[in-house]
Amino acid sequence: MTQDKLINIDKNRLSKILGEAALIFVSVFIAIWLESEWQNRAEEIAAKVSLSQLLAELRADQEFLETVRLEQLAFVETSGKLMMLLQNPESLSKESYQDDFEEYGSPISVWPRRAAWTTMVSAGQLGLIEDKSLVARLGDFYEHRQRRLIYNSESYDLTVEKIAGESIPEIWDYQHQEFLTSDYEKFAALNGKIRWANGWAHWYLESLVGYNKDLSKLIVDVEKYLQDHGAVASANDQSS
């Protein structure tokens, strides 16, 4: 075999090796790319599912908000009756107080759901939402608007619970349903506390109006985003 033939054989082998190497490289590159695309697609789907769950929670919160509003209105009415009664207690029988004292207690306040939001934050899914202004509005709603409402709800609840559990029992016997004192100053002191809580309840009701407006707008924004990104069915399924 001549030297030229040997050189040609070596060239053919080299070309074959290089070709196989290139094929392997391209195959690996395509496999990695496909896996990356599949992973990205899976993460995007997961983010949409979480956003759909968040939408369902927002809708549930809005429905519960009406229950809270009605109970707060009932609390305001009960507080108003007690304030009028305590202004002139000696002219009234214990039956006039019985129901109102029994009904006075912490009304339902708003404790919003945060599970889906917490999941999206911890999983880094917010970065997969294309509408960055929506992400900003969600962040402001959950980390500012909602946290402030939760803080006020907690303080409000504790205040009313203290009046019902400590202040009222100082002058009213729940068990025997009768007054424990005839001291006008004690009646006046209790009246002042109930009046203060009543004013707080009025403020709380007003804050719920503003909160509901923010909530309604956010629901519309999330619904539109899911609709624009082909996740209408998921959003509807989660809310049903």
Helix runs in the chain, H state only: 3-86, 95-103, 115-122, 132-140, 147-162, 184-228, 232-239
Closest Cα partner for 42 from 128, 117, 116?
A: 128
**DSSP secondary structure string, 90-121?**
GGS-THHHHHHHHH-SPPP------HHHHHHH
What's the pTM value of the predicted model, to 2 decimals? 0.75
CA torsion angle 157 158 164 168 (round to 10): -140
Cα–Cα distances (Å) from 139 to 22, 142, 201, 218, in that order, read 48, 5, 27, 11
Cβ proximity of 124 and 43 under 8 Å = no
Cα–Cα distances (Å) from 23 to 27, 202, 239, in that order, read 6, 74, 49
Q: Residue 51 belongs to what domain range? A: 3-239
CA torsion angle 101 91 189 161 (round to 10): 0
Closest Cα partner for 169 from 108, 101, 103, 107?
A: 101
- The structural domain count of the chain equals 1
- Full pLDDT tens readout for the chain, 240 residues: 555 554 555 556 666 666 666 777 667 666 665 555 555 676 688 889 999 999 999 999 999 999 999 999 999 999 998 998 888 766 656 666 778 888 888 888 888 999 999 999 999 999 999 899 999 999 999 999 999 999 989 999 999 999 999 999 998 888 888 888 888 889 999 999 999 999 999 999 999 999 999 999 999 999 999 999 876 544 344 444
